Amino acid sequence: MLVPRHYDDMKVMFFNHFHNGDIHVSREFIRKIMAKRPDISYSYSHQNPSNLLADIPNLSFDNNAIHNVREHDNLNRIGDTVYINTWYGQQHQKYLKQYGITMDSLYSAFNDTCKGLLGFSLNNISSNVCDFFPTIDYSKFHIGEAKNWLANNPRKKILVENGQALSHQAHNFPMASVIINIAKKHSDKIFILTNQENMVLPENVVYSHNIIKKPMRSDLNEISFLSTHCDVIVGRASGVFAFSLTQENLFRRGTKYLCFSNLVPRMVNKFWLGPLLQNKVNYSANIITTNEPNVNKISEIIERNI
């Protein structure tokens, strides 16, 4: 249901019923919409840690309002609040069926919502699609310990996002074991694991938690900060991996990504892009995507690309 653009004293509640990565990939759309229409009051309702978007000024968090809407709803009005869905699969996969789990789906969904509700398109904000990829103001997060660690560890660094994929978008092979075996043969490199496991680590393997040293709350944005100082990023197409998908890594650094995912793009180096945007976006990063299930071959692929 579309809401008239002239609706007085409108409040906007962004919402998403799903995971951390889904919240992260929506962040720059939200930041830019808020800047375009600062006269509106904005909140975000989701069931993930409240600090995920702490770097977006004037965006409040509400973990209860999400119960007012279903996962496929969009542009529902309840009282003076309009609910905007930020999920890829909203409206019964309206965009997902056409573009898959890509930036194309997000861009199209936000663009249609802005035109229907706010009277402008995303192109009125910026004609450069790359401007809508995620950015993070790391100064708003707990990065002091990580900065100190980076200053004292100049070796080549590989960030390994070894957590489980929660939405069946990648094989959950034992990544930490593979990395530890590789690390023993590459003492000139440091391997950073994002998910703590009960394993004995060689000297050149460290958990991100022990670098960041953040008490309790989610450290996904701090892991993203670490990613901007790593030469190679290895991971499944999961929430943790999504936090490394930032403008800095994708467009301003020569980052190498090795992504294990069933979301293998048709075109080389076009991960997370579909037919709408793949000719409009060119990464400076080198993104290698594979859906290889064999652990021995996976080990060979990782070692070949670090």
**pLDDT (tens digit per residue) in 9-22:** 789 999 999 999 99
Q: How far apart are CA 195 and CA 207, in angstroms?
A: 7
Looking at the structure, tell me whether residues 279 and 297 fall in a common domain.
yes
19: in domain: yes
The DSSP 8-state label assigned to residue 117 in this structure reads I
1: in domain: no
6: in domain: no
Looking at the structure, tell me whether residues 167 and 287 fall in a common domain.
yes
193: in domain: yes
2: in domain: no
Q: How far apart are CA 35 and CA 124, in angstroms?
A: 12
CATH code at position 207: 3.40.50
Looking at the structure, tell me whether residues 146 and 292 fall in a common domain.
yes
Looking at the structure, tell me whether residues 185 and 75 fall in a common domain.
no
| Of 88, 103, 132, the domain-final residue | 132
Residue 7 clears pLDDT 60, i.e. is over it? no
170: in domain: yes
Looking at the structure, tell me whether residues 294 and 162 fall in a common domain.
yes
Looking at the structure, tell me whether residues 34 and 101 fall in a common domain.
yes
Band (pLDDT 50/70/90 cuts) for residue 238 is confident
Question: Rounded to the nearest 5 degrees, what angle is found at the Cα of 151, between the Cα atoms of 250 and 242?
Answer: 30
**pLDDT (tens digit per residue) in 73-119:** 999 999 999 999 999 999 999 999 999 999 999 999 999 999 999 99
| Of 84, 114, 132, the domain-final residue | 132
18: in domain: yes
Q: How far apart are CA 20 and CA 135, in angstroms?
A: 15
The count of structural domains within the chain is 2
Q: Answer with the residue of higher pLDDT: 163 or 111.
A: 111
Beta bridge partners of 159: 192, 233
3: in domain: no
Looking at the structure, tell me whether residues 280 and 256 fall in a common domain.
yes
Looking at the structure, tell me whether residues 67 and 154 fall in a common domain.
no
Looking at the structure, tell me whether residues 154 and 42 fall in a common domain.
no
3-state secondary structure (DSSP) of residue 275: coil
HSE-up of residue 152 (Cα within 13 Å, Cβ side): 7
Rounded percentage of the chain residues whose pLDDT exceeds 70 = 96
Looking at the structure, tell me whether residues 188 and 54 fall in a common domain.
no
Burial of residue 44 (CB within 10 Å: 0-12, 13-18, 19+) is: buried
Which residue range is the domain that position 108 belongs to? Answer: 11-132
| Of 73, 107, 132, the domain-final residue | 132
Looking at the structure, tell me whether residues 88 and 164 fall in a common domain.
no
Distance of CA 256 to the CA centre of its chain: 16
Looking at the structure, tell me whether residues 159 and 79 fall in a common domain.
no
Residue 257 clears pLDDT 90, i.e. is over it? yes
Residue 45 clears pLDDT 60, i.e. is over it? yes
Residues 6+ apart with CB under 8 A from 162: 175, 176, 179, 193, 194, 195, 197, 235
pTM: 0.94
